[in-house]
Amino acid sequence: MCSSRIGILGGSFSPPHNAHLALGIFAKDQFDLDVVFVIPGSTISLGKTEKPIANHHRYNMAVLACKNVDFFHVLDCELQNNPVYTVQTLKSLRKKYTRAELFFIAGADNFKNIDSWHEPQEIAKLTSFIIAPRNDFLFEAFDSLKKVGTDTKNIFTLDFPRIDVSSTMIRERLRKDLGCSYLVSDAVLRYIKINRLFKED
């Protein structure tokens, strides 16, 4: 994998849903990625007050969600006792895969706030960015990435359909005992039911 093209798909994955997987699949196909690392993130989550569920549950659900896609690889590198920032993860991957090209995949609504991330200028030096248009934030995301020092040749737009599915919406439906089939994989839904997740605020 030394000279490969690596996609990085992070998130709270609380729970992982089918739009997350579609994002990775579309990015893999459009940008000829060799592998997509799916990384459940640190419990730090800017702008969100709801605390994610236990790390091991988020990791297990990500593994179940990705089990039938051979180019998805779930990493637990951010699931530590102390917060692990994106810049730390990227530095670790850069050190391990010295000749690889890194592509950070996320929606425009995430990248528009990149100036609030930990060491955003350093992040801009470590990876290219694949932006999925979302909620009309595409141009704002481009501007934010350029402001933290990202070269425009390292910013790419993903041809991705609008899919208004979010983990927040799914949690709300689960708490109301509403169906989530076709939003979340059957394996993840079974795991949620067995472990009685998302039953309380």
Kindly provide the b/e burial profile for residues 118-150, where b requires at least 16 CB atoms within 10 angstroms of the residue's own CB: ebbebbbbbbbbbbbbbeebbeebbebbeebeb
Residues 7-54 pLDDT 10s: 999 999 999 999 999 999 999 999 999 999 999 998 655 455 666 689
In this prediction, residue 1 carries a pLDDT of: 55
For 2, 29, 54, 124, 181, the CA distances from 111, given in Å and listed in that order, are 27, 21, 25, 11, 29
In this prediction, residue 163 carries a pLDDT of: 84
Phi, psi of 172 (to 5 degrees): -65, -40
For 37, 153, 169, the CA distances from 124, given in Å and listed in that order, are 18, 12, 31
> H-helix or E-strand containing 171?
helix 167-175
Domains (range + CATH), the chain: 5-194 (3.40.50.620)
Residue reference for tokens 């501007």: 143
Q: Which value, to the nearest 10 degrees, does the dihedral of the CA atoms of residues 100, 30, 28, 97 take? A: 0
d(CA 48, CA 21): 22
Residue numbers of the chain with a pLDDT score lower than 50: 46
In this prediction, residue 53 carries a pLDDT of: 86
Question: For the sheet containing 101-107, what is the strand order?
Answer: 72-74, 35-40, 5-11, 101-107, 128-132, 155-157
- The DSSP secondary-structure symbol of 40 reads E
In this prediction, residue 67 carries a pLDDT of: 95
In this prediction, residue 46 carries a pLDDT of: 47
d(CA 149, CA 130): 16
d(CA 88, CA 180): 34
In this prediction, residue 48 carries a pLDDT of: 57
Is the Cα torsion angle 51, 53, 54, 58 positive or negative in sign? Answer: negative
In this prediction, residue 35 carries a pLDDT of: 97
Phi, psi of 143 (to 5 degrees): -60, -45
In this prediction, residue 200 carries a pLDDT of: 63
In this prediction, residue 136 carries a pLDDT of: 81
Give one DSSP letter per residue of 106-146, joined into a string: EEHHHHTTGGGSSSHHHHHHH-EEEEE--TT-HHHHHHHHH
d(CA 186, CA 64): 9
